[in-house]
Structure 1
Amino acid sequence: MRRILNLGLILIMAATVLLVAVPSKTVQAQEGGTTTTQTVTHVVQPGENLFRIALRYGVTVQAVAQANGIANPNIIYIGQSLTIPGGSTGGNTGGETGGSTGGTASQYTVVAGDTLSKIARQFNTTVQAIAQANPAITNVNLIYVGQVLTVPGGTTGGTTGGTTGGTTGGTGTTSSFELGGHVAGVDFGAVDEMREAGMKWAKVQIRYKRGDNPDVTAPAINAAHLSGFKVLLSIIGDKNELASTNFETYTDEFATFLGGVAGLGPEAIEVWNEQNLDREWPNGQINPTNYTTMLKKAHEKIKAANKNVLVISGAPAPTGAESAFGSAAVWNDDRYVRGMAQAGAANYMDCIGAHYNEGIISPTRRNGDPRDNGGYYTRYFFGMLDTYFNAFGGARPVCWTELGYLSFEGLGVTTVPGFEWAATTTVQQQSIWLGEAAQLSRSSGRVRLMIVWNVDFDGKTPDPTGGFAIIRPDGTCPACATLGQAMK
């Protein structure tokens, strides 16, 4: 059901140099604990792009570009001085951490709804200062409910959070849930609808071929950032190349490619996809231990290039077909994720990749699916969430890299072979269930990210991608309203 974007064909769109990192000097503009707003000057450092700079100062890419006469927002240079119009200068721009206000260090316990930036604002300090004071934080986008943080030099007026009844214990619980959507291409023709739905992320899927330059991913990264979205790149190799190449050689090359991609500034990378099927992994070689070896190499290269990139393990395909087709062709996903856990995969990821796209009842329900006597876990939202989260003992949160409901209504076909199970699902049900899934994910404390499968695909047969799309054939988006309400 997934369609992969071949970005090699559109490199001519953006042969740009993408630079993303942190400035070397702190900007301070705090008076009496109050953040001021003024025009400031920012010097571009290695690794920065305009999107991240604008995000840091709380302004738009367009505002920065206009203030500096930048014709192409994709191109900035190390050492370039930028005027930031009306930017908030209370935050630390990186490097030195002297920009936090005075005061003694405080202890703070993370609660549901917290992010590091929210905590920093509460204590009149900076994200970077907190991260430096807490060496366990290797990714500033990932903190956990119940985590105790040292907050340096902050005021002590903020209350220390406690645990909440809506979350489960364990270091995998997460408080920074966000929503996104899988887009059909890099033209981003549905920006308004995605914003209405409360989406902060866009997902693009890319097929890697041996010898590819990481720059083939730049158009997707740039397009997402210029549209105001964080970007998740789901990067999948070629199973035939994997089969015909020495495993160590191939996985070294693949990991090096992902490290190069990380240097271009995406917010997240999913390492492969549905690797429990011989559709994506060589027949006879499906093995979670081998995949974990690949994941370890990828994690090391990605974090070395950009430690803030969220590393998501490849989501297996939900299936119980192993007994029918044999383990050479398919592993049941529950057995596969347990194998990943036993191989130590939790050490090489920030989030557990998961797919849920075969629901025909509300995600609030734990029983009652009419298929197979309603008992198989892949039929249920909580069946999938519990299986994946518990496989790792709560050590990591879950990231839904695909979550969708199929409706043939308005598609021009009543059903497609292999998808008859969705024949009676209406668009109204799709919109309600997506909103419920976002609400349940957000309140669970166990989900970091939910990517809706999908935003704007239009396929009918043999793969009805258009039936999963939230933008329906008539151009309306009923699910945008329910998702937006869930994210308020």
Structure 2
Amino acid sequence: LFSPLAYAIAIATGDTNLRQGPGTNYPIVGQLKKGEHLKIIGKNKKGDWWQLEGQDGKPVWIIASRVTAQGPVDSVQVAKDIPKPPKQAARPASGGGGPRPAGAGQFGYGIQIQPYGGADLGFAANAIKGLGFNWVKWQVPWKEMEGSPGAISWGGQDNAVNFFAGQGINILASIVKAPDWARPANTDFSVEGPPADPNTFANFLGQYAGRYCGKVKAIEVWNEQNLWYEWGGEPLDPARYMQLLKASYQAIKAACPQMIVVSGALTPAGNVGNLAVDDFQYLEAMYQNGLKNYSDAIGIHPSGYNVPPNLTWQQACDYINQTGASFRGPCDSPHHSWSARSTVEGSRNIMVKYGDVNKRLWPTEFGWAVGPAVNSNYGYANDNTQEEQARWTVEFYQWMKSTGYVGISFLWNLNFSMTNPGTELQQWSIVTSDGRPTLTYQMLQQMPK
């Protein structure tokens, strides 16, 4: 027969942080790997944290929901030596510092729409105004407008631009996707990619800016250029992107001096071989290649995944563990990109480092998807409820406004549930497939602007 355990032990059910005290506001002092155990020597009053005897004999704490407790658990006493909670000021040093921008625009509310494929533009405009928002964003696929050099088809853009400008809604056009004739021969034509000669793109942008000067208020130059399938499977090269941005910036300003030029927003990512480059690393390289002089605003995509907007990336794994979330990216590969807030703050810190304090960050895409996930690549959606999407979106807008350095912020998305039903795109939409407002729409409508 097995002898009963002489003392209680905690066995980790997954890799879990060890803390200095009973709460996620205490510093991390180590980690208990899945299947490892330590001796239980105490608990907090609520009984939702165990005090353990660490490897060095010093007490550490672990959240009870992430362990299996075995042995004489009932005899465990409330610990007498519980450390005082750290002061709130001891939040992760991030903050997005530096002076507030001077004369570089202001905070504002926008949303991305799908204007093509028979989309009801009147519905979209009324929905945007109903939110109390006054900016709209859509993508402009260069390849679908200039099928051969110099032969530009303006019809679809004319309709959308003239309609929304006529409604008094400001437009951000995100211009992307080179036509095949403009791309290098060695590119991967199965995915989108940049032109071989940046001047071909700059020429198109100059014509676009000139045609819509006074109607389109801002142009975003490319999108997620730190990601392989937005860059033709070619080497992810910030210097090459900056050649594209420099030529484009000059062409846009020559055609329409008041046009706001937004740098292409990076996707939040770590370094993944030749598939992705860390967005902070890429943004630094953009600055090292002249970004400060060739942009009016800095585009970012602070993605929410399944992490609330008030948490930094250092706090994300504890939240995942506490809630029993099914998507464990923030624990399996801890990185700033899992936290929308950390993406904003870290990007701002890079702006400050390179002396670009008078510009604002423009989140040209952000949001939280709601499950059930249509595509397993977006499995984090399964952890998010409609109520969480609504509450987190409002909280993030309010927080971004409070920073003083965030500019126009575009929620992804309004109406893809109507234009692209059955795809993962619908999971971010804030109206239903038949055009009814979701809870997120209603809470944004009520949010003080």
The Cα shift of 1:355 comes to: 0.8
The within-5 A match list for 1:189-208 is 189-208=123-142
* Conservation of the 8 A alpha-carbon contact between 1:235 and 1:270: yes
Question: Is residue 318 of structure 1 aligned with residue 268 of structure 2?
Answer: yes
Paired with 2:307 and 2:430, the residues of 1 have a C-alpha distance of: 17
- Match of residue 482 from structure 1: 443
Residue among 307, 319, 324 paired with 1:361 = 307
Quick one: which of 224, 242, 252 aligns to 2:183? 242
Runs of 4+ in structure 1 over 6 Å off: 245-249
Tell me, yes or no, if structure 1 residue 224 matches structure 2 residue 184.
Answer: no
Aligned equivalent of 1:437? 396
Quote the residue 1:469 is aligned against. Answer: 429
Question: Distance in 2 between the 1:384 and 1:368 partners?
Answer: 13
Closer, same or farther: CA 219–487 of 1 in aligned 2, 3 Å: farther
Any conservation in 1 of the 2:165–2:171 contact (CA below 8 Å)?
yes
Deviates more, 1:425-434 or 1:249-258: 249-258
State the Cα distance separating 1:477 from its structure 2 match: 2.9
Q: Is the 8 A contact 1:238 1:280 kept in 2?
A: no
Partner of 2:87: none
Q: Tell me the distance in 2 between the aligned counterparts of 1:227 and 1:479.
A: 23
> 1:239/1:338 Cα in 2 relative to 1: closer, same or farther (>3 Å)?
farther
Task: Compute the TM-score of the two structures, normalised by the length of structure 2.
Answer: 0.65
Aligned to 1:404: 367
1:16 matched residue in structure 2: none
Contact 1:289–1:340, Cα closer than 8 Å, also in 2: yes
- Is 1:255 the counterpart of 2:202 in the alignment? yes
Aligned length: 315
Give the match's secondary structure for 1:235. Answer: strand
Shift of 1:239: 7.5
Q: Percent identity?
A: 27
Q: Work out whether 1:386 is the aligned partner of 2:348.
A: no
Picking from 111, 117, 135, the partner of 1:181 is 111
Q: C-alpha displacement at 1:259, in angstroms?
A: 1.1
CA distance in 2, matches of 1:172, 1:397: 9
Greater strand content:
2
Match of 2:284 in 1: 338
Counterpart residue type for residue 208 of structure 2: V
The answer (yes or no) to whether the contact 2:184–2:196 under 8 Å persists in 1 is no
- In 1, the alpha carbon distance for the partners of 2:277 and 2:96 equals 33
**CA deviation map 1:174-217 (0-9, x unaligned):** 56111111111163223332123221111110111253527353
Q: Which amino acid counterpart does residue 379 of structure 2 have in structure 1?
A: E
TM-score (norm 1): 0.60
Whole-angstrom distance in 1 between the partners of 2:405 and 2:230: 27
3-state SS, counterpart of residue 437 of structure 1:
helix
Long gaps (5+) in structure 2? 1-94, 188-193, 321-327
Amino acid at match of 1:244: A
Q: State the secondary structure of the residue aligned to 2:268.
A: coil
State the 1:276 CA deviation: 1.2
Q: Which residue, 426, 441, 450 being the options, matches 2:409?
A: 450
TM-fit CA distance, 1:274: 1.1
Shift of 1:254: 0.8
Task: Write the mapping of 1:37-436 to structure 2, written as runs, cut at 5 A.
Answer: 168-169=98-99, 171=101, 176-185=106-115, 187-188=120-121, 189-209=123-143, 210=146, 211=149, 212-213=151-152, 215-216=154-155, 217-238=157-178, 241-244=182-185, 250-263=197-210, 264-265=212-213, 266-320=216-270, 322-323=271-272, 326-327=273-274, 329-366=275-312, 367-369=315-317, 370=320, 371=328, 372-373=330-331, 375-393=334-352, 394-395=356-357, 396-408=359-371, 413-436=372-395
Query: CA separation of 1:353/1:486 partners in 2, compared to 1, >3 Å: closer, same or farther?
Result: same
Q: How much has 1:427 moved relative to structure 2?
A: 1.2
1:168–1:446 contact (8 Å) kept in structure 2 = no
Residues 139-163 of structure 1: CA distance to partner in whole angstroms, max 9, x if unpaired? xxxxxxxxxxxxxxxxxxxxxxxxx
**Would the alpha carbon gap of residues 173 and 225 (structure 1) be closer, same or farther in structure 2, given more than 3 Å must change?**
closer
- Could you say if the C-alpha distance between residues 304 and 175 of structure 1 is closer, same or farther in structure 2, counting changes exceeding 3 Å? closer
State how far apart, in whole Å, the 2-side matches of 1:293 and 1:417 are: 36
Q: Which has the larger radius of gyration?
A: 2
How far is 1:483 from its partner? Answer: 2.3
CA distance in 2, matches of 1:424, 1:248: 39
